[in-house]
Amino acid sequence: MRTMTWPQRIGWAAIIVAVLVWSLFPVFSILMTSFKTPSGLFSGTLLPEEWTFDNYAEILAPGGGAQDLFLPALRNSVGISLIATFIAVVLATLCAYAIARLDFRGKRIILVTALAVSVFPIVSIVTPLFNLWRVIGLYDTWLGLIIPYLSLTLPIAIWTLAAFFRQIPWELEQAAQVDGATPFEAFRKTVVPLAAPGVFTTAIIAFFIAWNDFVYGISLTSTSAARPVPAALSFFTGASQFEQPTGAISAAAIIVTIPIVVVVVIFQRRIVSGLTQGAVKG
């Protein structure tokens, strides 16, 4: 990389600081709020005057006021999001591979339909879905959320993976087949390792979508049997009707952010690595 002049460096540093503040300040504010006492919530200061872990105790510790609301919701969120992500990635990988490699009738229709589905506003589907789910018994079940989540995650997964597969030279698979590999072996030994970064990226995006959903979560569940965290947060109440649950909500928000941060930190190398370089003449 070429070296920058001092004014350029200062300019870049200023921009980076501005972006960091813009994106991280709300998170920091919530983090600080989660450490405030109920009376400290309205002090108007950014940092708590009196530090407390009561909010975390309330949602996590046994006997905490919101514990029976939060912990099942966390379990639901993790389970439902992981299953929805897994199914979406497996289906999308097969579908995108076919779209990228094969020439079949209706290929465009699949892509356009996938796009159309993701364009459709969730709010307009959720009411009919609510009625349908109640009739067929999917209401307030994990499966009842996984299916709508697939409709959110599949289109974007198919599109990103198809774009990714198209970058992998066809010749690699053909070379593997000429080298003596079965079609599946060729796929597993050449395409899968090269597509891994794309698959991980797609999985993370799909997981975020499922993890962050609120509308389906609140509309298609009624008990802690399937209610995910974003929906559960809206059911938090204060210790008395004169207290706001802000502290507990903040603590819960921080806790549900942690898995996302962990996932991104672990996989960021895989996400950014450009493995296909050098496959063809560079």
Partner 1 sequence: MASITLKNIVKTYDDGFTAVKGIDLDIADGEFVILVGPSGCGKSTLLRMIVGLEDITSGEMLIDGDLVNDKAPKDRDLAMVFQNYALYPHLTVYENIAFPMRLKSSDVPDDEIDERVRRASSLLELDEHLQRKPANLSGGQRQRVAMGRAIVRNARAFLFDEPLSNLDAKLRGQMRTEIARLQRSLATTTVYVTHDQTEAMTLGDRVAVLRRGELQQVASPRGLYEQPVNLFVAGFIGSPPMNFLHGTVEGDTLKLPMFDVPLDDRLRRAVGDRQLVIVGVRPDAFEDADTSDRPLEGGVRAEVDIEMTEWLGEVLYAYVPFEVEQSVHEKLSELDRDLDGEGLRTELVVALDSLSRIRAGDPANLWFSPDSLHVFDPETGENLTRDDERAAALEEDAREQRQRALARAREREERRSASAGAASSGSIPAA
130-169: contacts with partner 1 (CB under 8 A): 169
User: What are the Cα distances from residue 163, in Å, to 75, 95, 100, 157?
Assistant: 33, 12, 8, 10
Alpha carbon of residue 241 to chain centroid:
34
233 and 250 in contact (C-beta within 8 Å)?
A: no
Of 119 and 280, which CB lies nearer to partner 1 in the complex structure? 280
Q: Which is nearer to partner 1, 68 or 179 (CB)?
A: 179
| In the complex, least distance from residue 280 CB atom to partner 1, rounded to whole angstroms | 4
Binding-residue total with partner 1 (CB under 8 A)? 26
Give me the least distance between CB of 184 and partner 1, in Å please.
10
Shortest approach of partner 1 to residue 98 CB, angstroms?
Answer: 17
Q: Is 108 in the site for partner 1 (CB under 8 A)?
A: no
The interface with partner 1 within residues 240-279 (CB under 8 A) comprises: 275-279
Neighbours of 191 (CB within 10 A): 19
Cα separation values, 7 from 3, 11, 18, 29, 35, Å:
12, 6, 17, 32, 40
CB of 273 to partner 1, least distance (A): 10
User: Which one, 184 or 242, has the nearer CB to partner 1?
Assistant: 184
With vertex at residue 217, the alpha carbon angle to CA 210 and CA 86, rounded to the nearest 5 degrees, is 30
What is the phi-psi region of residue 63: left when phi exceeds 0, alpha when psi lies from -120 to 50, beta otherwise?
left
CB 146 within 8 A of CB 221: no
DSSP letters for 91-115: HHHHHHHHHHH---TTHHHHHHHHH
Among 20, 45, 94, 193, binds partner 1 (CB under 8 A): 193
Least separation, in Å, of the C-beta of 166 and partner 1?
A: 16
Rg (CA), the chain: 23
Q: How far is the CB of 120 from partner 1 (least distance, A)?
A: 35
- The site string for partner 1 over 172-191 (x = CB under 8 A, - otherwise) reads x-xxxxxxxxxx-x---xx-
Closer to partner 1 by CB, 79 or 169: give it.
169
How far apart CA 144 and CA 151 sit, in angstroms, is 12
Q: Least distance to partner 1 from the beta carbon of 171, Å?
A: 4
- Interface of this chain with partner 1, residues 40 to 79, rule: CB under 8 A: none
| Residue choice 59, 80, 194, 209 for contact with partner 1 (CB under 8 A) | 194
Instruction: Say how far apart CA 48 and CA 41 lie, in whole Å.
Output: 8
What is the closest distance, in whole angstroms, from the C-beta atom of residue 99 to partner 1 in the complex? 18
Does an H or E element contain 7, and which?
A: helix 6-33
* Residues in 15-44 at the binding interface with partner 1, rule: CB under 8 A: none
Residues that bind partner 1 (CB under 8 A): 169, 171-172, 174-183, 185, 189-190, 193-194, 275-282
